[in-house]
Structure 1
Amino acid sequence: MSELREPADRPVRLLGFWGTPENQTLPNPADLVDPGWGEAERQWVADYLEHGQIAGSWMGASRCRLCSRANGSRDLTDGYYLWPEGLAHYVLDHGVRLPAEFLNHIEQRSQALEGLERDASWWRRNAART
């Protein structure tokens, strides 16, 4: 059985943060558009991204660099990666392909969650005490 582990003592990896005209050290999302990336896989990735835990909130929404729509004001995380709330939009609506390593990470996390042994005894004992 796969095991879910807490992240090691290390920084989270940034994902989906884009360069600006003033700072071009980060990628441009237009360079990562893959028109051949299948919709089913994009939906699967976007769903994962939309369900991250809130890691921070900022004043004012960012805008999509490709279509200018308001694209969220929070950062989300799964404890391993940290991404802006609007990353799911880039994936789903524009076909911005994320690294294969991240896609493998999603697959491994999904398999680990599916393989968890379930035990209802704690819940049965403690629900009555609520």
Structure 2
Amino acid sequence: MFEPTEAADRPVRLLGFWGTPENRTLPDPAGLVDPDWDEAQRLWVADYLAHGLVAGNWMGASRCRLCSRANGSRDLTDGHYLWPEGLAHYVLDHGVRLPAEFLDHIERRSRALEELERDGSWWQRNAART
């Protein structure tokens, strides 16, 4: 699905990093809450976010800017986007809506995975060798 060398050709896009009183250049999650966002789509997006590859670990846990819950200490990635571990919480529990471009991205990736041609011959040959 993702080879680390793929990312070397382009920067990953940051997603779900929030502004602070000291740095207001990033968004405030409260401004992205959409109470009408379909729950099934939120569950689907949160699941995708929760299953990213670990791209970094930090010393302290982040806190949710909306409810103060401990929200993880890792950054996750799919090789195209990079987000904080707690972003799934914002989506699922607070309805923080992410950009349509990102939703389209995960739809394309999910479809591509579903359409993969499957070949069990390698596994059949090599399982006997273990």
Q: For this structure pair, what is the TM-score category when the shorter chain's length is used for normalisation? A: over 0.9
Q: Structure 2 stretches of 5 or more lacking a match? A: none
Quick one: distance in 2 between partners of 1:77 and 1:37? 24
Quick one: distance in 2 between partners of 1:45 and 1:12? 18
User: Once the 2 structures are TM-superposed, how far is the Cα of residue 69 of structure 1 from its aligned partner?
Assistant: 0.4
Q: Structure 1 stretches of 5 or more lacking a match? A: none
User: Once the 2 structures are TM-superposed, how far is the Cα of residue 60 of structure 1 from its aligned partner?
Assistant: 1.4
Which residue of 2 is the match for residue 126 of structure 1? 126
Equivalent residues in 2 for 1:67-106, closer than 5 Å:
67-106=67-106
1:58 aligns with 2:53: no
| Matched residue SS, 2:75 | strand
Which residue of 1 is the match for residue 24 of structure 2? 24
User: Once the 2 structures are TM-superposed, how far is the Cα of residue 15 of structure 1 from its aligned partner?
Assistant: 0.2
Quick one: distance in 1 between partners of 2:116 and 2:54? 24
| Matched residue SS, 1:90 | helix
> Does the 8 A contact of 2:2 with 2:79 survive in 1?
no
The alignment's C-alpha RMSD in Å is: 1.3
TM-score normalized by the length of structure 2: 0.94
Counting aligned pairs with the same residue, the percent is 83
User: Once the 2 structures are TM-superposed, how far is the Cα of residue 126 of structure 1 from its aligned partner?
Assistant: 1.0
Quick one: distance in 1 between partners of 2:111 and 2:38? 21
1:41 aligns with 2:41: yes
Q: Choose between structure 1 and 2 for higher RCO, CA contacts under 8 A separated by at least 6 residues.
A: 1
Quick one: distance in 1 between partners of 2:111 and 2:67? 34
Quick one: distance in 2 between partners of 1:112 and 1:63? 34
TM-score normalized by the length of structure 1: 0.94
Further displaced range: 113-122 or 4-13: 4-13
After the TM superposition, list the runs of 4 or more consecutive aligned residues in structure 1 that deviate by more than 2 angstroms.
Answer: 4-8
User: Once the 2 structures are TM-superposed, how far is the Cα of residue 5 of structure 1 from its aligned partner?
Assistant: 7.7
